[in-house]
């Protein structure tokens, strides 16, 4: 998905027009129209402002990820060890570990 497509989608989800969003962010509606139709690109500051407004990551807006928001991980020693061991596994065993974690979560919430 392009930046313009993501922007349009986010605006539609919130039932916002380009004019309304422009007023909220102090951006000309014509500029937003350029962004939404992919013939203009925002500068870094504007990109960050749009991401904050919609509470999504800039990576999501840029199409780098399909996950709208990234959540900071708890940077504990245990988590770091888990990541280390995960990185040592083959792709097949990584998949098994993820499947096992899903089962653990399902059973622990009962």
Q: What is the pLDDT of residues 58-84, one digit of tens each?
A: 999 999 988 787 656 566 778 788 888
Residue 48: other Cβ atoms inside 10 A: 13
pTM: 0.64
Domains and CATH numbers, the chain: 3-61 (1.10.260.40), 77-108 (no CATH)
Torsion, Cα 30 47 38 62, to 10 degrees, reads -160
Say if CB 47 and CB 75 are below 8 A apart: no
Task: Tell me the C-alpha distance between 45 and 81, whole Å.
Answer: 36
For the chain, the 3-state helix, strand and coil shares in percent, each to the nearest 5, are 65, 0, 35
Strand, coil or helix: 84: helix
Say if CB 95 and CB 82 are below 8 A apart: no
Q: What is the pLDDT of residues 1-49, one digit of tens each?
A: 899 999 999 998 888 999 999 999 999 999 999 999 999 999 999 999 9
Say if CB 61 and CB 49 are below 8 A apart: no
Task: Tell me the C-alpha distance between 34 and 39, whole Å.
Answer: 5
State the DSSP H helix or E strand holding residue 73, giving kind and residue range, or none if neither: none
């Amino acid at each position: 998905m392009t930046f313009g497509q993501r922007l349009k989608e986010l605006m539609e989800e919130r039932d916002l027009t380009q004019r309304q969003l422009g007023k909220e962010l102090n951006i000309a509606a014509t500029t937003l129209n350029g962004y939404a139709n992919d013939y203009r690109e925002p500068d870094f500051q504007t990109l960050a402002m749009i991401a904050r407004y919609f509470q999504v990551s800039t990576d999501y807006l840029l199409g780098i990820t399909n996950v709208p928001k990234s959540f900071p991980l708890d940077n504990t020693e245990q988590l770091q060890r888990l990541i280390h061991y995960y990185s040592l596994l083959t792709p097949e065993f990584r998949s098994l570990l993820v499947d096992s974690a899903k089962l653990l979560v399902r059973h622990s919430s009962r």
